């Protein structure tokens, strides 16, 4: 195991929490380290867009006072957390990246914000998003553009780009992102950190600001999940977030299955490095293949030819339509244009037909996971790319190994997995020749999130751990 950085702001949250519990570190000291990171890195990266220093100081003081009396607020006791600006934080400006919400201050926390607060986190700032969380880049008219921490000329991914950048640079202990088309997995991949998209329905999504009237319903496909500097941190935060929403908590509870195997050499792993329907860059394909080789080296049984019995192009297109049907009307303006064109004007009867088609695809995935425990595949078709604010999903193109491709190809792999409600962990495994991180996603059967996380943890360890862009 690599030694911890000298600055505790860069430690994994699990290490921070252990140090706080042992009183080797105070909440005030950790907050000071985190805010020093914001002062040092945020001017160039523009990840943190709203901060409440009084709230931060009061939260740290309360945590230290409790510690002095042998008390703990929970598993996130004293950890300073930023929160994606698409999530409502009571008493703090929360805009969804939209000018219409520039001065919006919610009275009630989003479900996941309430969960991390109840677990002891000190939520003190907000991170940048694209307008209504509708892009794989992170820029808006309210706060401007967030830059990639590995190279500011490149995008950090979206829509949780500010969140991932903050995690990668120690401006927060952990974060919570949202993911309907890849908005946890892609920023994690592009910023070189870990991210987990939970099984659909596992984490309550009330308080998600995807429109002026957003937050009252839970859109189809959309999930909220953790972004962190280690897989252990993902596991910690998922344990806090998972559970029924407030309206169901009186009768329901959640008990996630343990990983299918105690040892990695017990896992059956399918590897899907690329696909004719959405070819990936050479660096991406090589990274997925390397992940398979690392797992084979650990004794896992690896097969790079097995595929679920689905038409992947048709499934991805169906997923695009379902996502389009799930986004609110306010997201149609200049963002998600292609997505909405695919599904935003559906009659309810047509949506029901699409949902039945999805049910058949989900059954095929379930059958696939009787023969394999996890699937390893690309997160996105290419490494981080230059900022491109012009146009929208319908009109932009993206260059992948010199070939112009539709911009919407960037969500092909994430939507293929997300539309089927499957859990997926994004972790960095390789680098481009320029030193940029390249990630894979480890996908498991529905509600078997812990199997995806277990294999992801083994992959990170086998690859030498997560390297951050700052020291």
> Alpha-carbon distance 226 to 228, whole Å?
6
Confidence of residue 345 (pLDDT cuts 50, 70, 90): low
Distance of CA 264 to the CA centre of its chain: 24
- Told to judge if 230 belongs to the known catalytic residues of this protein, a careful annotator would answer no
Query: Which is catalytic among the residues 84, 94, 230, 424?
Result: 84
Contact 156, 146 (CB under 8 A): yes
Query: Which is catalytic among the residues 26, 67, 133, 159?
Result: 159
Contact 75, 232 (CB under 8 A): no
Best CA proximity match to 346, nearest among 319, 330, 326, 331: 326
Residue 1, pLDDT score: 64
Q: How far is CA 309 from CA 116, 137, 315, 366, in A?
A: 39, 33, 11, 10
Query: Which is catalytic among the residues 33, 183, 330, 426?
Result: 183
Tokens of 367: 């059958």
If phi > 0 it is left, if psi is from -120 to 50 it is alpha, else beta; for residue 451 that is alpha
- Report helix angle 348-371 to 312-326, nearest 10: 130
Longest dimension (CA), the chain: 62
Question: Does the pLDDT value for residue 116 go beyond 60?
Answer: yes
Q: What is the mean pLDDT of residues 142-165?
A: 98
CA angle 227, 233, 235 (to 5 degrees): 100
Dump pLDDT digits (tens) for 71-82.
999 999 999 999
- Radius of gyration for the alpha carbons in the chain, expressed in angstroms and rounded: 20
- Told to judge if 159 belongs to the known catalytic residues of this protein, a careful annotator would answer yes
- Told to judge if 199 belongs to the known catalytic residues of this protein, a careful annotator would answer no
- Global pTM reads 0.96
> Alpha-carbon distance 83 to 56, whole Å?
13
Domains of the chain: 8-241 (3.90.1300.10), 264-462 (3.90.1300.10)
Question: Does the pLDDT value for residue 217 go beyond 70?
Answer: yes
Residue 329, pLDDT score: 52
DSSP 432-443: -TT--EEEEEEE
């Amino acid at each position: 195991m690599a030694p911890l950085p000298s600055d505790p702001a860069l430690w994994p949250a699990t290490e921070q929490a252990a140090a706080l519990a042992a009183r080797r570190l105070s909440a005030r000291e950790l907050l000071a380290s985190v805010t020093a990171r914001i002062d040092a890195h945020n001017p160039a990266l523009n990840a943190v867009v709203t901060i409440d220093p009084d709230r931060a100081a009061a939260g740290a003081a309360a945590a230290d006072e409790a510690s002095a009396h042998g008390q703990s607020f929970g598993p996130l006791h004293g950890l300073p957390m930023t929160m994606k600006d698409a999530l409502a934080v009571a008493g703090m400006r929360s805009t969804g990246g939209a000018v219409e919400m520039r001065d919006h201050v919610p009275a009630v926390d989003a479900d996941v914000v309430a969960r991390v607060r109840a677990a002891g986190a000190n939520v003190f700032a907000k991170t940048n998003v694209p307008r209504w969380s509708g892009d794989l880049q992170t820029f808006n008219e309210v706060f401007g553009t967030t830059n990639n921490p590995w190279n500011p000329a490149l995008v950090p991914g979206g829509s949780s780009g500010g969140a991932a950048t903050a995690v990668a640079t120690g401006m927060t202990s952990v974060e919570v992102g949202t993911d309907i088309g890849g908005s946890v997995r892609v920023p994690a991949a592009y910023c070189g950190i870990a991210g987990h998209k939970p099984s659909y329905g596992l984490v309550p999504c009330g308080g998600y600001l995807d429109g002026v009237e957003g937050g009252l319903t839970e859109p189809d496909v959309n999930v909220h999940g953790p972004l962190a500097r280690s897989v252990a941190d993902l596991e910690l935060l998922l344990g806090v977030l998972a559970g029924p929403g407030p309206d169901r908590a009186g009768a329901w509870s959640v008990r996630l299955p343990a990983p299918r195997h105690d040892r990695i050499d017990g896992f059956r792993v399918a590897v899907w490095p690329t696909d004719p329907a959405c070819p990936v860059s050479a660096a991406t394909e090589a990274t997925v293949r390397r992940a398979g080789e690392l797992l084979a080296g650990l004794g896992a049984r690896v097969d790079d030819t097995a595929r679920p019995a689905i038409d992947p192009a048709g499934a991805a297109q169906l997923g695009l339509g379902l996502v389009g049907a799930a986004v609110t009307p306010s997201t149609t303006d200049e963002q998600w244009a292609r997505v909405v064109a695919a599904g935003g004007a559906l009659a309810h009867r047509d949506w029901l037909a699409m949902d039945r088609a999805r049910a058949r695809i989900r059954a095929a995935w379930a059958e696939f996971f009787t023969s394999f425990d996890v699937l390893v595949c690309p997160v996105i078709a290419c490494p981080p790319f230059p900022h491109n604010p012009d146009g929208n999903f319908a009109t932009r193109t993206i260059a992948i190994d010199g070939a112009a491709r539709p911009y919407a190809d960037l969500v092909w792999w994430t939507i293929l997995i997300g539309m089927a409600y499957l859990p997926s962990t994004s972790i960095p495994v390789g680098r481009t020749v320029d030193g940029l991180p390249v990630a894979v996603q480890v996908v498991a059967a529905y509600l078997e999130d812990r199997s995806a996380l277990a294999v992801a943890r083994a992959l990170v360890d086998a690859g030498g751990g997560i390297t951050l862009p700052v020291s």
